[in-house]
Amino acid sequence: MTYLLDTNTCIQYLNGRSQRVKERIQSTKPEQVTLCSVVKAELFYGALRARNPQRTITLLEAFFTPLRSLPFDDRSAETYGRIRARLTDLGIPIRPNDLLIAATAVTHGAVLVTHNTREFGRVEGLAWEDWETGTRHWP
C-alpha cells in the first residue's frame, strides 16, 4: 500500500497538531509514505511565509528526506485531463493544486491521506483516508 500525504496532513504532523496523524505516520513503513512535488511546493510556500523561514525550510527538508516523491508525469497529465473534464461537466470543480495531487495519486495507485475530504471526495476513482478522523473511501 502506498500513501500520498496531502499538504494538510503534512502540516498537522509537522506542527504536532494531531496525535492521531503523528502516530499513523510513525507506525506506517517509511517506504509506504510518499509525497509529490505539488505538496512540496505548497509546503515551501508556507515555509517562506513563516516567521522563521529558514528554520521551517530546514524542518521540511528533514521531513522530506526519507520519503519518496511521486512524479506528476505524462500519465498523470492524462489522468488530470480526465478528472478535470468530468468535474467540469458535473459543475463541481476542485482547486487546481488539489486536482494535480489527485491525478498523481490516481495515476500511481496511491491512497491520498487528507483531511480535505469534501474536495477530494468529488474525484472518481480516488482512494482516500483521513487519518485525523479515521474515515476512508476506497472505490
Q: What is the CATH number of the domain that holds 33?
A: 3.40.50.1010
Residue 120, pLDDT score: 97
Could you tell me the pTM of the whole model? Answer: 0.95
Arithmetic mean of pLDDT over the chain: 96
In total, the chain counts a number of residues equal to: 139
Answer whether residue 127 shows pLDDT above 90: yes
Can you give the pLDDT at residue 49?
96
Predicted confidence at residue 14, as pLDDT, reads 96
pLDDT at residue 139, as a whole number? 87
CA 8/CA 79 separation, integer angstroms: 23
* pLDDT digit string, tens, across residues 90-105: 999 999 999 999 999 9
Q: What is the mean pLDDT of residues 107-114?
A: 98
Supply the range of the domain harboring residue 12: 3-137
Per the CB < 8 A criterion, the answer to whether 75 and 109 are in contact is no
pLDDT (0 to 100) of residue 114: 98
Angle at 82 between CA 105 and CA 71, to 5 degrees: 35
In the chain, how many domains are there?
A: 1
Q: Is the pLDDT of residue 129 over 90?
A: yes
Distance from C-alpha of 128 to C-alpha of 121, rounded to nearest angstrom? 8
Q: What is the pLDDT of residue 76?
A: 97
**pLDDT single digits (tens) 19-59:** 999 999 999 999 999 999 999 999 999 999 999 999 999 99
Please give the pLDDT value at position 128. 98
| Amino acid occupying residue 28 | T
